[in-house]
Amino acid sequence: MSQEPTRTATPSPSVAAPPPPSPLGTMEPWNLVATGYAAEALPYFQVFAKAALDCLNPGTDARIVDVAAGPGTLSLLAAAAGMRVSAIDFSESMVAAFRERAQRANLMDRIDLRQGDAQQLPFETGAYDAAFSMFGLMFFPDRAAGLRELRRVLRPGKRALISSWVPFDGPFGELLRAAQEVIPGLTLGGGGKPPMTDPEDIVREMTAAGFSSVAVKTVAHELTAPSFDAFWELMQRTNAPLVLIRHRMGEQRWSEVAPGLRERVRGRLPSGPLLIGRGAYFGMATA
Ligand SMILES: C[S@@+](CC[C@H](N)C(=O)[O-])C[C@H]1O[C@@H](n2cnc3c(N)ncnc32)[C@H](O)[C@@H]1O
């Protein structure tokens, strides 16, 4: 992993039209992938969670908030370091995976874990030393509300960090395009540019939420699959949009469509190892 120098950007006065709602802003796909995510995707996300904690460096006795916490990726690292953590996620299965991991690590006594919509936080105002939302707030239908809530819970002068993906179309883009071709009428919403994947947008939105000293850092960390077969298997277990497509079709229809879809995608990708992710943007700002 490498971290490029932090860069700041001037907030743009123009306000972009809101993108269409993404299914990733709903619970359904996250409930479907929680088990595979906790079992297989977690190590990749942990790299960014560790980098985020290093960036804000809240101190081992800090009180922190982890918003859209998933299976506790950042929360458990923070609690293991001694921090007290208030965490929230709206997916029942993600919260169950979080609780299971935290109990196994004997960390629940440092964690206040809630299930709920993080666009409104059930946490105290002005009480926290750092606030994080790793690849979660980016999907909220009302990101402005999510950001205002992050700011509200922070002690004045303390910092928030949100992460989003560095845009990368790659094999997963091919997969979704092929799915649109072979599954007539497939509508997943969320088309167009993914949310918060432009540093200018991150600066503008955090500034509009009342944060100051907003800066965006690029954290480069590649995700690769050793082969097409490994990519296909991983996507079927951990990729929220693909798992949602399969669930909505039902197993019978999926078994009819999947072989053709697989071959279509395979034909468009190079043989050998595949690059499937490049890294993340960290938006950091002071309350
Ligand atoms: C890609 S996962 C990231 C999980 C974790 N932060 C990590 O870094 O591994 C996105 C998470 O956001 C959660 N999420 C999305 N929208 C949410 C909302 N409005 N309120 C609470 N959680 C939400 C999902 O349930 C999912 O667990």
**What percent of the residues of the chain are helix, what percent strand, and what percent coil, each to the nearest 5?**
45, 25, 30
CATH superfamily of 21-167+193-223+278-286: Vaccinia Virus protein VP39 (3.40.50.150)
Residue in 35, 73, 90 to alter for ligand 1 test, most ligand atoms within 8 A of Cβ:
90
**pLDDT (0 to 100) of residue 179:** 83
Work out whether the CA dihedral 180, 183, 189, 190 comes out positive or negative: negative
Domain spans of the chain, in order of start? 21-167+193-223+278-286
Task: Specify the pLDDT at position 241.
Answer: 84
pLDDT given at position 33: 93
pTM for this predicted structure: 0.90
Best residue for ligand 1 mutational test, from 22, 67, 121, 139 (most atoms within 8 Å of Cβ): 139
Phi, psi of 117 (to 5 degrees): -80, 120
Phi and psi angles of residue 160, each rounded to the nearest 5 degrees, phi first: -110, 150
pLDDT value of residue 183: 75
The alpha carbon of 135 and the centre of ligand 1 are apart by a number of angstroms equal to 7
**Predicted pLDDT of residue 12:** 44
Task: Identify the segments of the chain with pLDDT beneath 50.
Answer: 5, 7-15
Q: Which atom in ligand 1 lies closest to the alpha carbon of residue 27?
A: 25
Distance, CA 112 to ligand 1 centroid (Å)? 16
Tell me how far apart the alpha carbons of residues 67 and 218 are, in angstroms, rounded to a whole number. 21
* The pLDDT value given to residue 7: 47
